[in-house]
Amino acid sequence: MRVNGRRVEPGYRLHDGDQLELPRMEVIDTKPPARIPAALLRQIEQSILHEDDTLIVLNKPADVAVHVGTGVSGGVIEVLRHLRPDQPDLELAHRLDRETSGLLMIAKTPAMLRHLQQVLRDSSSLDRRYIALVRGAWPTKLTEVRARLRRTERTVLVDGDGQTACTRFSILRRFGNRATLVQARLVTGRKHQIRVHTRHAGHPIAGDQKYGDDSFHRSLRELGGSHMFLHASELRIPLPGGEKLHLTAPTPPSWQRPLDLLTTPGKRAPRPRRRNRV
């Protein structure tokens, strides 16, 4: 929602004369698609890392949407509702971009959904970490990026009048001056935060078609990299009973070959062999 042309916080109080601008509402059919590919059903079922009476956490594959949308007939939540027809209260607790892989939380009860949403709003008790491959040599002393972010209709921009946003970074592995594998810890959780903060720092994420660098993408494709290299790898979250849930998710297998080839400058991914036709 916008008031007088500017985005406002959820707790904003309206005043006489304020002009409201509401986004176009889109009614989404929550019923599962009539036909979901069997391969997608298996993929989502096998990606579940944790499940109890109130919560599911899975390692979402890259290029799988979390819900239906434009050009997407079915996402993670629709697949889970199809797989768990006796659990009508399944809801996404948060979202991951379609291109991002990694840990995704789905509440199985309204009470757990409310709890998770409250924890996500008050992020002081939450620890979410991502792994990203970025362009160039990430500076050792660059351990934190603070840059306010403003959402537009299609993208997110660094803007001094935007929402406060902070990401903490540490270096996991260097590939000379070509690329760096970094860990990113979310202090705040804005849309596209890590993607925009890495670009703002001058080191965009490999494979990021919205905020990345085309020449860097091409060099990674030559090494076999076909997806965006951003992965939600670790999660620590308090549960309603007071205990903490700690989960980790391995990076996608598709990362391994490009990372191996990055360690050997000049190498390219081998081309697939052509099969002789009979």
Catalytic residues, which ones?
Answer: 97
How is residue 168 written in tokens? Answer: 């903490």
- The Cα–Cα gap between 109 and 31 comes to 18
φ, ψ (nearest 5 deg) of residue 274: -80, 135
What contacts 256, CB < 8 A, 6 or more positions away?
none
Please tell me the distance from the alpha carbon of residue 69 to that of residue 49, in angstroms, as a whole number. 25
CA separation for the pair 265, 114 (Å, rounded) = 49
Residues near 118 by beta carbon (within 8 Å), at least 6 away in sequence: none
Residues 6+ apart with CB under 8 A from 199: 205, 208, 211, 212
Helix or strand (DSSP H, E) at 222: helix 214-222
Amino acid code (one letter) for 240: P
In this structure, how many other beta carbons lie within 10 angstroms of the beta carbon of residue 101?
30
d(CA 94, CA 106) in angstroms, rounded, equals: 8
**Which of these, 94, 100, 143, 127, lies nearest to 255 by C-alpha position?**
100
> Structure tokens of 22?
């509401």
- The answer to whether 206 and 220 are in contact (CB under 8 A) is yes
